[in-house]
Structure 1
Amino acid sequence: MGRKPVSKTEFSQRLTAVREALGHESRKAFAGVLGMNPETLGGYERGDSSPDMQFLARYKQDFAVNLDWLITGDGDMFQSSAGSAQGLPAPIMDFNQPDFVRLPVYNDVHASAGPGMVPASEQADGVVAFTRRFLANQGARPDHCSVIWARGTSMKPTIPDGALLVVDHSQREVEHGCIYVFNVSDRLLVKRARWRLDGRLELVSDNADEGYPVETFGAESVDQLRVVGRVVYFGRTP
Protein backbone atom coordinates (compact mmCIF):
# COMPACT_ATOMS: atom_id res chain seq x y z
CA MET A 1 0.00 0.00 0.00
CA GLY A 2 1.21 3.53 -0.76
CA ARG A 3 1.79 6.04 1.96
CA LYS A 4 -0.86 8.63 2.66
CA PRO A 5 0.37 12.06 1.47
CA VAL A 6 1.70 14.16 4.34
CA SER A 7 0.49 17.74 4.76
CA LYS A 8 3.42 20.10 5.25
CA THR A 9 1.61 22.90 7.10
CA GLU A 10 -1.09 23.19 9.73
CA PHE A 11 -3.23 25.11 7.23
CA SER A 12 -3.02 22.30 4.67
CA GLN A 13 -3.88 19.78 7.40
CA ARG A 14 -6.99 21.79 8.26
CA LEU A 15 -7.92 22.02 4.58
CA THR A 16 -7.74 18.23 4.32
CA ALA A 17 -9.73 17.88 7.54
CA VAL A 18 -12.57 19.96 6.06
CA ARG A 19 -12.86 17.68 3.02
CA GLU A 20 -12.89 14.57 5.20
CA ALA A 21 -15.42 16.11 7.62
CA LEU A 22 -17.69 16.77 4.65
CA GLY A 23 -17.63 13.05 3.91
CA HIS A 24 -15.36 13.14 0.86
CA GLU A 25 -12.78 10.37 1.00
CA SER A 26 -11.86 10.96 -2.63
CA ARG A 27 -9.91 14.16 -3.33
CA LYS A 28 -10.59 13.72 -7.04
CA ALA A 29 -14.36 13.59 -6.50
CA PHE A 30 -14.32 16.62 -4.21
CA ALA A 31 -12.28 18.54 -6.78
CA GLY A 32 -14.99 17.67 -9.29
CA VAL A 33 -17.65 19.14 -6.99
CA LEU A 34 -15.54 22.29 -6.68
CA GLY A 35 -14.98 22.37 -10.44
CA MET A 36 -11.20 22.44 -10.17
CA ASN A 37 -8.19 20.35 -11.12
CA PRO A 38 -7.53 17.56 -8.56
CA GLU A 39 -3.78 18.25 -8.75
CA THR A 40 -4.37 21.87 -7.79
CA LEU A 41 -6.43 20.82 -4.77
CA GLY A 42 -3.77 18.25 -3.91
CA GLY A 43 -1.12 20.96 -3.92
CA TYR A 44 -3.18 22.99 -1.45
CA GLU A 45 -3.80 19.99 0.82
CA ARG A 46 -0.14 18.96 0.81
CA GLY A 47 1.06 22.51 1.43
CA ASP A 48 2.97 22.71 -1.85
CA SER A 49 1.04 25.83 -2.87
CA SER A 50 -1.40 28.31 -1.33
CA PRO A 51 -4.98 29.05 -2.46
CA ASP A 52 -6.25 32.54 -3.17
CA MET A 53 -9.09 34.27 -1.35
CA GLN A 54 -11.59 33.35 -4.06
CA PHE A 55 -10.95 29.68 -3.28
CA LEU A 56 -11.33 30.26 0.47
CA ALA A 57 -14.54 32.22 -0.09
CA ARG A 58 -16.08 29.14 -1.73
CA TYR A 59 -15.39 27.08 1.40
CA LYS A 60 -17.20 29.72 3.45
CA GLN A 61 -20.12 30.25 1.08
CA ASP A 62 -20.77 26.69 -0.08
CA PHE A 63 -19.81 24.70 3.03
CA ALA A 64 -20.08 27.26 5.88
CA VAL A 65 -16.44 26.75 6.85
CA ASN A 66 -15.19 29.15 9.54
CA LEU A 67 -12.31 30.94 7.81
CA ASP A 68 -10.84 32.07 11.13
CA TRP A 69 -10.43 28.41 12.07
CA LEU A 70 -9.18 27.44 8.61
CA ILE A 71 -6.48 30.14 8.54
CA THR A 72 -5.47 30.36 12.20
CA GLY A 73 -6.90 27.28 13.90
CA ASP A 74 -8.98 29.39 16.30
CA GLY A 75 -12.64 28.55 16.92
CA ASP A 76 -14.75 25.81 15.35
CA MET A 77 -14.34 24.25 11.93
CA PHE A 78 -17.81 25.30 10.80
CA GLN A 79 -19.90 28.38 11.35
CA SER A 80 -22.70 27.93 13.84
CA SER A 81 -25.37 28.60 11.20
CA ALA A 82 -24.14 25.76 9.04
CA GLY A 83 -25.81 25.41 5.70
CA SER A 84 -24.92 25.16 2.07
CA ALA A 85 -25.95 28.07 -0.11
CA GLN A 86 -25.98 25.91 -3.24
CA GLY A 87 -27.30 22.69 -1.71
CA LEU A 88 -23.99 20.92 -2.28
CA PRO A 89 -22.36 18.78 0.43
CA ALA A 90 -22.90 20.71 3.65
CA PRO A 91 -20.97 20.90 6.93
CA ILE A 92 -22.96 18.37 8.91
CA MET A 93 -21.00 15.45 10.26
CA ASP A 94 -23.80 12.86 10.19
CA PHE A 95 -24.36 12.11 6.51
CA ASN A 96 -26.86 9.42 7.46
CA GLN A 97 -29.43 12.15 8.02
CA PRO A 98 -32.37 12.00 5.59
CA ASP A 99 -31.38 15.33 4.00
CA PHE A 100 -28.27 13.73 2.49
CA VAL A 101 -27.53 10.98 0.02
CA ARG A 102 -24.14 9.33 -0.45
CA LEU A 103 -23.51 8.65 -4.12
CA PRO A 104 -21.10 5.86 -5.12
CA VAL A 105 -18.06 7.06 -7.08
CA TYR A 106 -16.64 4.87 -9.85
CA ASN A 107 -13.14 6.17 -10.55
CA ASP A 108 -12.40 3.51 -13.18
CA VAL A 109 -15.62 4.05 -15.14
CA HIS A 110 -15.34 6.78 -17.75
CA ALA A 111 -18.15 7.90 -20.05
CA SER A 112 -16.31 8.88 -23.17
CA ALA A 113 -16.89 12.30 -24.67
CA GLY A 114 -14.90 10.95 -27.59
CA PRO A 115 -14.59 7.65 -29.47
CA GLY A 116 -15.85 5.47 -26.60
CA MET A 117 -14.21 3.81 -23.61
CA VAL A 118 -14.74 0.27 -22.37
CA PRO A 119 -15.48 0.38 -18.61
CA ALA A 120 -12.56 -1.12 -16.70
CA SER A 121 -14.42 -1.80 -13.47
CA GLU A 122 -17.81 -1.44 -11.83
CA GLN A 123 -16.52 -1.48 -8.25
CA ALA A 124 -17.30 1.72 -6.35
CA ASP A 125 -14.17 3.49 -5.10
CA GLY A 126 -15.78 5.86 -2.61
CA VAL A 127 -18.73 8.16 -2.03
CA VAL A 128 -19.67 11.80 -2.52
CA ALA A 129 -22.34 13.35 -0.31
CA PHE A 130 -24.95 15.66 -1.83
CA THR A 131 -28.09 17.12 -0.35
CA ARG A 132 -31.26 15.60 -1.70
CA ARG A 133 -32.60 19.09 -2.36
CA PHE A 134 -29.70 19.94 -4.66
CA LEU A 135 -30.11 16.76 -6.73
CA ALA A 136 -33.89 17.15 -6.85
CA ASN A 137 -33.40 20.69 -8.17
CA GLN A 138 -31.39 19.15 -11.02
CA GLY A 139 -34.38 16.96 -11.86
CA ALA A 140 -32.83 13.81 -10.36
CA ARG A 141 -34.08 11.02 -8.14
CA PRO A 142 -31.28 11.12 -5.53
CA ASP A 143 -31.41 7.44 -4.54
CA HIS A 144 -30.79 6.38 -8.15
CA CYS A 145 -27.67 8.45 -8.87
CA SER A 146 -23.96 7.68 -9.06
CA VAL A 147 -20.76 9.53 -9.99
CA ILE A 148 -18.51 8.72 -12.94
CA TRP A 149 -16.10 10.77 -15.07
CA ALA A 150 -16.11 12.20 -18.58
CA ARG A 151 -13.14 11.56 -20.83
CA GLY A 152 -12.54 13.18 -24.21
CA THR A 153 -13.45 16.40 -26.00
CA SER A 154 -16.53 15.62 -28.09
CA MET A 155 -18.93 17.28 -25.61
CA LYS A 156 -16.92 20.48 -25.23
CA PRO A 157 -17.66 23.23 -24.38
CA THR A 158 -20.61 21.83 -22.42
CA ILE A 159 -18.72 19.01 -20.67
CA PRO A 160 -14.92 19.29 -20.56
CA ASP A 161 -12.48 16.39 -20.41
CA GLY A 162 -12.19 15.09 -16.84
CA ALA A 163 -15.51 16.47 -15.60
CA LEU A 164 -17.37 14.76 -12.77
CA LEU A 165 -20.76 13.46 -13.93
CA VAL A 166 -23.76 12.73 -11.73
CA VAL A 167 -25.89 10.17 -13.58
CA ASP A 168 -29.50 9.37 -12.69
CA HIS A 169 -29.95 5.71 -13.60
CA SER A 170 -33.73 5.87 -13.20
CA GLN A 171 -34.08 8.16 -16.24
CA ARG A 172 -33.71 5.78 -19.16
CA GLU A 173 -36.54 7.03 -21.33
CA VAL A 174 -34.68 9.22 -23.79
CA GLU A 175 -35.92 12.78 -24.20
CA HIS A 176 -34.92 14.95 -27.14
CA GLY A 177 -32.08 17.37 -26.38
CA CYS A 178 -30.99 15.88 -23.04
CA ILE A 179 -27.54 14.43 -22.28
CA TYR A 180 -27.26 10.75 -21.40
CA VAL A 181 -24.66 8.08 -20.78
CA PHE A 182 -25.16 5.31 -23.33
CA ASN A 183 -23.66 1.84 -23.46
CA VAL A 184 -23.06 1.07 -27.12
CA SER A 185 -21.59 -2.41 -27.60
CA ASP A 186 -19.78 -2.09 -24.24
CA ARG A 187 -18.54 1.43 -25.00
CA LEU A 188 -19.72 4.10 -22.56
CA LEU A 189 -20.56 7.34 -24.36
CA VAL A 190 -21.84 10.65 -23.01
CA LYS A 191 -23.87 12.25 -25.80
CA ARG A 192 -26.80 14.51 -26.46
CA ALA A 193 -29.89 12.66 -27.67
CA ARG A 194 -31.71 13.84 -30.77
CA TRP A 195 -34.83 12.17 -32.17
CA ARG A 196 -35.37 12.29 -35.92
CA LEU A 197 -38.77 12.59 -37.56
CA ASP A 198 -38.46 9.01 -38.86
CA GLY A 199 -38.16 7.72 -35.27
CA ARG A 200 -34.42 7.07 -35.35
CA LEU A 201 -32.26 8.17 -32.42
CA GLU A 202 -29.09 10.18 -33.01
CA LEU A 203 -26.25 10.45 -30.48
CA VAL A 204 -24.78 13.89 -31.07
CA SER A 205 -21.58 15.60 -29.88
CA ASP A 206 -21.68 19.25 -28.77
CA ASN A 207 -18.18 19.91 -30.14
CA ALA A 208 -18.87 21.20 -33.65
CA ASP A 209 -15.23 22.09 -34.36
CA GLU A 210 -13.64 18.63 -34.42
CA GLY A 211 -16.00 16.76 -36.71
CA TYR A 212 -17.24 14.01 -34.40
CA PRO A 213 -19.64 11.71 -36.29
CA VAL A 214 -23.30 11.34 -35.37
CA GLU A 215 -24.27 7.78 -34.42
CA THR A 216 -27.78 6.80 -35.55
CA PHE A 217 -29.89 3.95 -34.18
CA GLY A 218 -33.10 2.53 -35.57
CA ALA A 219 -35.19 -0.55 -34.85
CA GLU A 220 -32.64 -2.79 -36.56
CA SER A 221 -29.78 -1.68 -34.29
CA VAL A 222 -31.51 -0.86 -31.01
CA ASP A 223 -30.16 -4.04 -29.39
CA GLN A 224 -26.67 -2.47 -29.55
CA LEU A 225 -27.78 0.47 -27.41
CA ARG A 226 -28.50 0.65 -23.68
CA VAL A 227 -29.34 3.82 -21.77
CA VAL A 228 -27.25 3.96 -18.57
CA GLY A 229 -28.91 7.15 -17.31
CA ARG A 230 -29.33 10.88 -17.78
CA VAL A 231 -26.55 13.31 -16.82
CA VAL A 232 -28.14 15.63 -14.27
CA TYR A 233 -25.04 17.49 -13.07
CA PHE A 234 -21.41 17.88 -14.05
CA GLY A 235 -18.50 19.63 -12.36
CA ARG A 236 -16.27 21.64 -14.66
CA THR A 237 -12.49 21.70 -14.38
CA PRO A 238 -10.39 24.61 -15.63
Structure 2
Amino acid sequence: MGRPAKKLEGIGARLAVLREGRIRKEFAKDLGVPDSTLGNYERGDRLPDWSFLETLHQRKGVNLNWLLSGVGEIFSASETGSSVVDDNVVRLPRFDARASAGKGLIPVNELPVGEVAFARDFLRNLGASPDHCYVLEARGDSMWPTIPDGALLIADSSKKVVDDGRIYHFNVMDRALIKRARWTIDGKLFLTSDNVAAGYAPEEFTADRVDELQVSGRIMFTGHAPLPVR
Protein backbone atom coordinates (compact mmCIF):
# COMPACT_ATOMS: atom_id res chain seq x y z
CA MET A 1 0.00 0.00 0.00
CA GLY A 2 1.20 3.57 -0.67
CA ARG A 3 1.92 6.06 2.05
CA PRO A 4 -0.87 8.57 2.76
CA ALA A 5 -0.22 11.76 0.84
CA LYS A 6 0.64 15.00 2.54
CA LYS A 7 -1.43 17.93 1.34
CA LEU A 8 1.24 20.26 0.02
CA GLU A 9 1.08 23.11 -2.46
CA GLY A 10 3.35 22.86 -5.47
CA ILE A 11 5.41 20.17 -7.19
CA GLY A 12 8.59 21.46 -5.54
CA ALA A 13 7.24 20.95 -2.03
CA ARG A 14 6.11 17.44 -2.91
CA LEU A 15 9.52 16.61 -4.37
CA ALA A 16 11.10 17.66 -1.08
CA VAL A 17 8.83 15.18 0.71
CA LEU A 18 10.10 12.36 -1.51
CA ARG A 19 13.69 12.79 -0.34
CA GLU A 20 12.95 13.27 3.37
CA GLY A 21 15.90 11.99 5.39
CA ARG A 22 18.27 11.98 2.41
CA ILE A 23 20.90 14.48 1.32
CA ARG A 24 19.73 16.24 -1.81
CA LYS A 25 22.99 15.64 -3.69
CA GLU A 26 22.75 11.88 -3.10
CA PHE A 27 19.07 11.78 -4.07
CA ALA A 28 19.81 13.75 -7.26
CA LYS A 29 22.62 11.35 -8.20
CA ASP A 30 20.30 8.40 -7.66
CA LEU A 31 17.83 9.97 -10.10
CA GLY A 32 20.50 10.88 -12.66
CA VAL A 33 20.19 14.67 -12.45
CA PRO A 34 22.60 17.35 -11.14
CA ASP A 35 22.08 18.55 -7.58
CA SER A 36 21.51 22.08 -8.87
CA THR A 37 18.73 20.85 -11.16
CA LEU A 38 16.93 19.07 -8.32
CA GLY A 39 17.34 22.20 -6.21
CA ASN A 40 15.65 24.27 -8.94
CA TYR A 41 12.80 21.76 -9.08
CA GLU A 42 12.28 21.79 -5.31
CA ARG A 43 12.32 25.60 -5.10
CA GLY A 44 9.89 25.87 -7.99
CA ASP A 45 12.38 27.80 -10.13
CA ARG A 46 11.99 25.20 -12.88
CA LEU A 47 9.34 22.65 -13.78
CA PRO A 48 10.54 19.01 -13.94
CA ASP A 49 10.70 17.61 -17.46
CA TRP A 50 8.92 14.41 -18.43
CA SER A 51 12.13 12.37 -18.46
CA PHE A 52 12.65 13.20 -14.77
CA LEU A 53 9.01 12.45 -13.93
CA GLU A 54 9.16 9.07 -15.65
CA THR A 55 12.35 8.26 -13.73
CA LEU A 56 10.56 8.99 -10.45
CA HIS A 57 7.68 6.78 -11.49
CA GLN A 58 9.77 3.88 -12.81
CA ARG A 59 12.54 3.80 -10.17
CA LYS A 60 10.70 5.03 -7.09
CA GLY A 61 7.10 4.06 -7.80
CA VAL A 62 5.98 7.68 -7.37
CA ASN A 63 2.35 8.35 -8.15
CA LEU A 64 2.51 11.13 -10.74
CA ASN A 65 -1.11 12.07 -10.01
CA TRP A 66 -0.01 13.03 -6.50
CA LEU A 67 3.17 14.77 -7.65
CA LEU A 68 1.38 16.95 -10.20
CA SER A 69 -1.86 17.66 -8.35
CA GLY A 70 -1.40 16.70 -4.67
CA VAL A 71 -4.29 14.23 -4.96
CA GLY A 72 -3.97 10.55 -4.01
CA GLU A 73 -1.21 8.55 -2.41
CA ILE A 74 2.50 9.26 -2.78
CA PHE A 75 3.35 5.87 -4.22
CA SER A 76 1.43 4.10 -6.95
CA ALA A 77 2.88 0.70 -6.11
CA SER A 78 5.52 -0.10 -3.48
CA GLU A 79 8.18 2.30 -2.27
CA THR A 80 10.76 0.32 -4.24
CA GLY A 81 8.99 1.08 -7.49
CA SER A 82 7.96 -2.49 -8.28
CA SER A 83 5.07 -2.61 -10.69
CA VAL A 84 1.63 -3.97 -9.93
CA VAL A 85 -1.35 -4.67 -12.15
CA ASP A 86 -3.99 -2.04 -11.62
CA ASP A 87 -7.07 -1.82 -13.81
CA ASN A 88 -7.55 1.76 -12.64
CA VAL A 89 -4.30 2.88 -14.31
CA VAL A 90 -4.12 4.14 -17.90
CA ARG A 91 -0.87 5.00 -19.66
CA LEU A 92 -1.25 8.23 -21.60
CA PRO A 93 0.89 8.81 -24.70
CA ARG A 94 3.44 11.59 -24.22
CA PHE A 95 4.37 13.66 -27.25
CA ASP A 96 7.77 15.27 -27.62
CA ALA A 97 6.23 18.52 -28.79
CA ARG A 98 5.39 21.85 -27.30
CA ALA A 99 2.10 23.44 -28.29
CA SER A 100 2.54 27.16 -28.06
CA ALA A 101 0.56 29.36 -25.73
CA GLY A 102 1.91 32.15 -27.92
CA LYS A 103 2.29 32.61 -31.68
CA GLY A 104 2.46 28.93 -32.53
CA LEU A 105 4.97 26.08 -32.69
CA ILE A 106 5.27 22.96 -34.82
CA PRO A 107 2.25 20.66 -34.33
CA VAL A 108 2.51 17.50 -32.25
CA ASN A 109 4.15 14.61 -34.09
CA GLU A 110 1.83 11.69 -34.74
CA LEU A 111 4.13 9.26 -32.89
CA PRO A 112 4.38 9.42 -29.08
CA VAL A 113 7.83 9.21 -27.49
CA GLY A 114 6.72 7.71 -24.19
CA GLU A 115 3.90 7.07 -21.76
CA VAL A 116 2.83 8.49 -18.41
CA ALA A 117 0.62 6.55 -16.00
CA PHE A 118 -2.46 8.19 -14.49
CA ALA A 119 -5.39 6.82 -12.53
CA ARG A 120 -8.57 6.50 -14.57
CA ASP A 121 -10.57 7.89 -11.65
CA PHE A 122 -8.39 11.00 -11.60
CA LEU A 123 -9.06 11.63 -15.30
CA ARG A 124 -12.77 10.87 -15.00
CA ASN A 125 -13.05 13.35 -12.14
CA LEU A 126 -11.67 15.95 -14.55
CA GLY A 127 -14.51 15.11 -16.92
CA ALA A 128 -12.10 13.45 -19.36
CA SER A 129 -12.28 10.17 -21.25
CA PRO A 130 -9.19 8.28 -19.97
CA ASP A 131 -8.65 6.25 -23.15
CA HIS A 132 -8.55 9.39 -25.30
CA CYS A 133 -6.18 11.54 -23.26
CA TYR A 134 -2.61 12.53 -24.09
CA VAL A 135 0.14 14.66 -22.55
CA LEU A 136 2.00 17.64 -23.98
CA GLU A 137 3.74 20.82 -22.82
CA ALA A 138 2.82 24.48 -23.32
CA ARG A 139 5.30 27.16 -24.34
CA GLY A 140 4.80 30.91 -24.32
CA ASP A 141 3.02 33.45 -22.13
CA SER A 142 -0.18 34.22 -24.05
CA MET A 143 -2.32 32.10 -21.73
CA TRP A 144 -0.83 33.50 -18.52
CA PRO A 145 -1.83 33.11 -15.73
CA THR A 146 -4.14 30.20 -16.61
CA ILE A 147 -1.35 28.30 -18.37
CA PRO A 148 2.19 29.53 -17.68
CA ASP A 149 5.21 28.77 -19.83
CA GLY A 150 6.32 25.16 -19.38
CA ALA A 151 3.03 23.89 -17.96
CA LEU A 152 2.31 20.19 -18.35
CA LEU A 153 -1.05 19.60 -20.01
CA ILE A 154 -3.48 16.72 -20.30
CA ALA A 155 -5.75 16.97 -23.34
CA ASP A 156 -8.75 14.84 -24.32
CA SER A 157 -8.83 14.06 -28.06
CA SER A 158 -12.46 12.87 -27.88
CA LYS A 159 -13.67 16.41 -27.17
CA LYS A 160 -13.69 17.89 -30.67
CA VAL A 161 -16.75 20.13 -30.31
CA VAL A 162 -15.50 23.64 -29.65
CA ASP A 163 -17.46 25.14 -26.76
CA ASP A 164 -17.37 28.84 -26.04
CA GLY A 165 -14.96 29.77 -23.25
CA ARG A 166 -13.04 26.48 -23.09
CA ILE A 167 -9.33 25.98 -23.83
CA TYR A 168 -8.20 23.69 -26.64
CA HIS A 169 -5.12 22.36 -28.36
CA PHE A 170 -5.53 23.55 -31.96
CA ASN A 171 -3.46 22.77 -35.03
CA VAL A 172 -3.65 25.68 -37.46
CA MET A 173 -1.84 24.86 -40.69
CA ASP A 174 1.79 24.44 -39.52
CA ARG A 175 1.22 25.77 -35.99
CA ALA A 176 0.18 24.15 -32.72
CA LEU A 177 -1.69 26.47 -30.38
CA ILE A 178 -3.18 26.41 -26.89
CA LYS A 179 -5.98 28.98 -26.97
CA ARG A 180 -9.38 29.80 -25.49
CA ALA A 181 -12.29 29.54 -27.91
CA ARG A 182 -14.76 32.40 -28.23
CA TRP A 183 -17.83 32.38 -30.47
CA THR A 184 -19.64 35.47 -31.68
CA ILE A 185 -23.38 35.74 -32.31
CA ASP A 186 -22.82 35.66 -36.07
CA GLY A 187 -20.95 32.34 -35.89
CA LYS A 188 -17.35 33.48 -36.04
CA LEU A 189 -14.75 31.63 -33.97
CA PHE A 190 -11.92 33.53 -32.30
CA LEU A 191 -8.86 31.87 -30.75
CA THR A 192 -8.05 34.17 -27.85
CA SER A 193 -5.33 34.62 -25.23
CA ASP A 194 -5.84 35.08 -21.48
CA ASN A 195 -2.82 37.39 -21.18
CA VAL A 196 -4.59 40.56 -22.29
CA ALA A 197 -1.76 42.83 -21.17
CA ALA A 198 0.69 41.18 -23.60
CA GLY A 199 -1.35 42.37 -26.56
CA TYR A 200 -1.91 39.05 -28.38
CA ALA A 201 -4.52 39.63 -31.07
CA PRO A 202 -7.38 37.09 -31.36
CA GLU A 203 -7.26 34.93 -34.49
CA GLU A 204 -10.54 34.88 -36.42
CA PHE A 205 -11.95 31.85 -38.22
CA THR A 206 -14.90 32.16 -40.56
CA ALA A 207 -16.46 29.48 -42.78
CA ASP A 208 -13.87 30.00 -45.52
CA ARG A 209 -11.01 29.11 -43.13
CA VAL A 210 -12.47 25.99 -41.54
CA ASP A 211 -10.14 23.68 -43.49
CA GLU A 212 -7.12 25.39 -41.86
CA LEU A 213 -8.24 24.52 -38.33
CA GLN A 214 -7.98 21.15 -36.59
CA VAL A 215 -9.13 20.54 -33.02
CA SER A 216 -6.68 18.09 -31.44
CA GLY A 217 -8.32 18.05 -28.02
CA ARG A 218 -9.68 20.01 -25.09
CA ILE A 219 -7.27 20.88 -22.28
CA MET A 220 -8.48 19.07 -19.16
CA PHE A 221 -5.63 19.57 -16.69
CA THR A 222 -2.75 21.98 -16.21
CA GLY A 223 0.21 21.16 -13.96
CA HIS A 224 2.87 23.76 -13.28
CA ALA A 225 5.38 25.10 -10.80
CA PRO A 226 4.32 27.85 -8.37
CA LEU A 227 3.62 31.06 -10.28
CA PRO A 228 5.91 34.05 -9.71
CA VAL A 229 4.43 37.39 -8.70
CA ARG A 230 3.94 39.82 -11.58
Task: State TM-score, norm by structure 2.
Answer: 0.68
Q: Is 1:86 paired with 2:74? A: no
Once the two structures are TM-superposed, the CA of residue 125 in structure 1 deviates from its matched residue by 1.8
Q: How many residues get paired?
A: 180
| Alignment root-mean-square deviation, CA | 3.4
Find the counterpart in structure 2 of residue 165 from structure 1: 153
**SS at 1:220 equivalent:** helix
Aligned residues with identical type, % of pairs:
46
Q: Would the aligned equivalents of 1:88 and 1:131 in 2 still touch at CA under 8 Å?
A: no
What's the offset of the Cα at 1:237? 2.3
Spell out the pairing of 1:1-238 with structure 2 (5 A cutoff).
10-12=26-28, 16=31, 37-38=47-48, 62=66, 86-87=71-72, 90-92=75-77, 93-94=82-83, 96-107=85-96, 109-119=97-107, 121-238=109-226
Could you tell me how far 1:104 is from its partner in structure 2?
1.1
**1:211–1:179 Cα change, 3 Å:** same
Shift of 1:119: 2.9
**Cα distance in 1, alignment partners of residues 153 and 125 from structure 2:** 16
- 1:76 alignment counterpart: none
SS at match of 2:124: helix
Structure 2: stretches of 5+ with no match in the other structure: 1-22, 56-61
**Whole-angstrom distance in 2 between the partners of 1:217 and 1:88:** 44
Distance 1:170 1:154 in 2: 25
AA of the residue aligned to 1:38: P
**Alpha carbons of 1:88 and 1:219: their partners in 2 closer, same or farther (altered >3 Å)?**
farther
- Residues 214 and 129 of structure 1, relative CA distance in 2, 3 Å threshold: same
Is this contact kept in 1: 2:138–2:152, CA < 8 A? yes
Pick the structure with greater CA Rg: 1
Which residues of structure 1 form unaligned runs of 5+? 1-6, 18-26, 46-57, 64-83
* Compared CA separation, residues 136 and 185, structure 1 to 2 (3 A): same
User: Residues of 1 paired with 2:85 and 2:165: CA distance?
Assistant: 35
Going from structure 1 to structure 2, the CA distance change for 1:129 and 1:200 (only over 3 Å counts) comes to same
Q: With the length of structure 1 as denominator, give the TM-score of the two structures.
A: 0.66
**AA partner of residue 97 (structure 1):** D
Q: Distance in 2 between matches of 1:89 and 1:162?
A: 23
